[in-house]
Amino acid sequence: MKQTLKLLSVLSLLTLSTQAYDTNKAASLNTFYSHMTHKACANSKLFIKGVDVMKMLQQKKPFLLLDVRTDAEAAIVGLTGENALHISLDRLFHKENLDKLPTDRPVIVVCHSGIRATMAAMGLKQLGFKNIQVLKGGIVALAKADTPKNAPLK
């Protein structure tokens, strides 16, 4: 009887460990991330500098600045204008918010420093969005790039 209980316990543990994660999701993530070698990441077009965003503003190029910071952060220092949209990261992946994102022009994801924006961009890319970039250094980098020389408004 003891041996049967031991065997059942071991089998239960083995069964639990084989179902510890979603294997289909793991395969999908492996496909997505497997090409991200050190060299590929260093040469990535995922990141854009603040000065390049300022140039795009000056040249009135069509793009969207997607601010994924919290509502409280955006209330203190917010991005405004026709090419700015605030959707906090915790609400970004709701269908009604994803439907607000353009597919016909670049989307530059912004947060405070770039970490949340990178997570958001990777999620959007996994969903199939093609023209996604991250503002390297976040809103801080954009503020530093806003010099008299680069300012889009005269």
124-133 tens-digit pLDDT: 999 999 999 9
Distance CA 102, CA 142 (A): 22
Q: What residue spans define the domains of the chain?
A: 2-34, 45-145
What's the pLDDT band for 151 if we cut at 50, 70, 90? low
Report pLDDT for 22: 80
Strand bridging mode 84-86 / 64-67: parallel
Percent of the chain with pLDDT over 90: 53
Report pLDDT for 150: 60
Sign of CA dihedral 37, 131, 140, 73: negative
Predicted model pTM: 0.76
Each residue of 41-59: pLDDT tens digit?
666 788 999 999 999 998 9
Residue 12 has pLDDT above 70, yes or no: no
- CATH number given to 45-145: 3.40.250.10
Residue 13 has pLDDT above 90, yes or no: no
